[in-house]
Structure 1
Amino acid sequence: MESVLMNIFTLILIVQFFIGNLSNGFTVLISCIDLANRRRLSTADQILTGLAISRIGLLWEILISWFEFRHYSAFFVHGLQLRIIIFAWIITNHLSIWLATILSVFYLLKIASFSSHIFLYLKWRVEKLILVILLGSLVFLFLNILQMNLYINEWMHMHETSTTWNSTQGDATEFSGWLLLTMTIYTLIPFTVALMAFLLLIFSLRKHLNRMQLSSQGYKDLRSKAHINALKMVISFLLLYAIFCLSILISWIGSTYKNDQLQKIGQIIGTVYPSSHSFILILGNPKLRKTTLWYRGC
């Protein structure tokens, strides 16, 4: 029965893996076609393309981890393999959440309207701001990798001195807890920034509706739709990433209580974020949405 249930979990994961790669691959393909035709990509397209590539990497990392870490022994036999998988997960997850956060900031600066001099200054220099945020996030990535590498060294040393399988399992549980804690710390900042962008977009929309009561209905509708569309994109990221963090917590609980099924359920839930969010971004992007409808019509 357990084997059948595990096969069902594996099938669900593979289906989500292909769906996520299809949606993200579509975004990358359209960007490559635009780049070949126009010799350049807009800032929004560059962010979406980088985000799609990072999501593809994250999905592959989840799939590899699914088959590689089915037993605790996989952690301990190959120290180099452990580093490669953990570092790949850290890098793809880091780029995925930071690029989604940058996209939220981009929506805010392009759509929202505030009279603050600081906001106007950032609005006029949105491309430079995005570059600064991206480069600044690499500092957190470097610290995260450095910290994790030090802990892996210590953890592997503890494993080499372990003489029983029970102590090995305890080390694995401790390592899972440390990985969860590290992820929470290093993703709290981008998640908070995206949440602030969402709240500012709501405030901007409210100001816009009050200000446009005496203006033309058409202008009001266009601006309001732009706000609402941006809000959908940002809130979808916040909700789906919260689900992703919840999946990590479920996996950790499963590891702590040695419940393999609960751990696998957490991994399955975790694939919802990188696969589903891409579809929402496609529907929210006019160019990608029109291209999708065009291909469907063909």
Structure 2
Amino acid sequence: MIPIQLSVFFMIVYVLECLVIIVQSSLTVVLLGREWVQVKRLSPVDVILTSLGICRFCQLWSSMLFNFFSHFHPHCVFWYFGIVWEFTNTLSFWLTSWLAVLYCVKVSSFSCPIFLWLKWRIVRLFPWLLLGSVLISCVSMIFSAIRNHIKIQLNSMRHFSRNSTVTERLETFLQQYAIYQGIMLAVPFLLFLASTILLMASLSQHVRQMKQHHTSHSNLSLKAPATALRSLAIFLIFFTSYFLTTIISIMGALVNKKSWFWVWEAVIYGIVSIHSTSLMLSSPKLKRVFKVRCWGLEAA
């Protein structure tokens, strides 16, 4: 049991992290949305970043509303906020994995026939990939609604011993649902992991080839792939950390979940905040806009 003052501190940290992510997501949507209005088109990468911004915005608000309402009104059921979080969380995992696939296909220099075919077809497949991600997220939302309905039934049936068999069956279903939920997130994560590792391998191969032709010009050109490798490593570490913390939270691995709840939420969304920042910096358009804004502020 942690002191109440420490719980309040981590509660404030959690709120600040959520507000930072909401501001980041709003800026991404506004800036890329304005780009779409001006140019009348967006690249697949920018479409994913815009969709992720909308997802994060809804996810963070649903998380805050659900956590605070459940904390201060523990006897009330706010299942609709949990369903929104389930949908946006699953969709954000798939969008992040497709972003890694796009970067891998466009940047990597592998001559494998599969990569060559994907380079040619990825733009045409892109709308179907997004539609499939939305449909899978809708399925997870339906299962989340069923899980919340079962939880409500369990709370009302635990007082009656004659319903012990039904109660055990419902609890077994909840355990199976936790496994299913973990698999639903593991599939896009493994896709993200494979794409990122392949892209890092391609960039490392490119760096080695550049070092073999050791000239002053090649030393300057080495900075771009080296910076990209560092960014990918950071991106991989924090998205992996977010996946692991989410899986631990789903599986209920915390021993004293109530007393450490706000600590756990602060850790999870601290990772999400860094992950969102790295996503924003992955877009050349967003980086260019921020540089212009910062330059304007300094000139003023």
TM range (shorter): 0.7 to 0.9
Superposed displacement of residue 89, structure 1: 1.1
Distance 1:172 1:239 in 2: 37
Q: Give matches, 1:10-49, under 5 Å.
A: 10-49=11-50
Cα 1:16/1:44, change in 2 over 3 Å: same
- Output the amino acid matched with 1:253: A
Give the 5 Å matches for 1:255-266.
257-266=255-264
- Quote the residue 1:294 is aligned against: 292
1:123 correspondence with 2:124: no
Task: Name the CA shift for 1:137/1:228 in 2 (closer, same or farther; >3 Å).
Answer: farther
Could you say which residue in structure 2 is the equivalent of 1:110?
A: 106
Q: CA deviation at 1:90?
A: 1.1
Root-mean-square deviation (CA, aligned residues, Å) is: 3.2
- Choose the corresponding residue for 1:204, options 202, 221, 235: 202
The amino acid that maps onto 1:64 is: L
**Residue 271 (structure 2) aligns with:** 273
Q: CA deviation at 1:120?
A: 0.8
1:295 to partner: Cα distance: 1.6
Residues 1:239 and 1:214: Cα distance change in structure 2 (over 3 Å): closer
Distance 1:187-1:110 versus aligned 2 partners, 3 A rule: same
Instruction: String of CA shifts for 1:67-109, please: whole Å, max 9, x gaps.
Output: 02226834xx43xx31x12211111101211111111011111
TM-score, normalised by the number of residues in structure 1: 0.82
C-alpha separation in 2, matches of 1:217 and 1:118: 35
| Separation in 2, partners of 1:291, 1:110 | 23
Matched to 2:288, the amino acid is K
Superposed, 1:28-177 pairs within 5 Å as 28-70=29-71, 73-74=74-75, 77-78=76-77, 81-82=78-79, 84-163=80-159
**How many residues align structurally?**
286
Q: From the superposition, tell whether residues 220 and 147 of structure 1 become closer, same or farther in structure 2 (CA, over 3 Å).
A: farther
- Tell me by how many angstroms 1:215 deviates: 9.2
* Paired letter, 1:266: W
Give the Cα separation in 2 of the matches to 1:202 and 1:179.
Answer: 34
- Measured in 2, the distance between the counterparts of 1:152 and 1:237 equals 33
Cα distance change of structure 1 residues 15 and 265 upon mapping to structure 2, 3 Å threshold:
same
Deviations 1:169-217 (A, max 9, x none): x999989866653431101111111111122112212332354444987
Ranges in structure 1 where 5+ consecutive residues have no aligned partner: none
User: CA separation of 1:154/1:49 partners in 2, compared to 1, >3 Å: closer, same or farther?
Assistant: same
SS at match of 2:262: helix
Name stretches of at least 5 consecutive residues in structure 2 with no aligned partner.
none
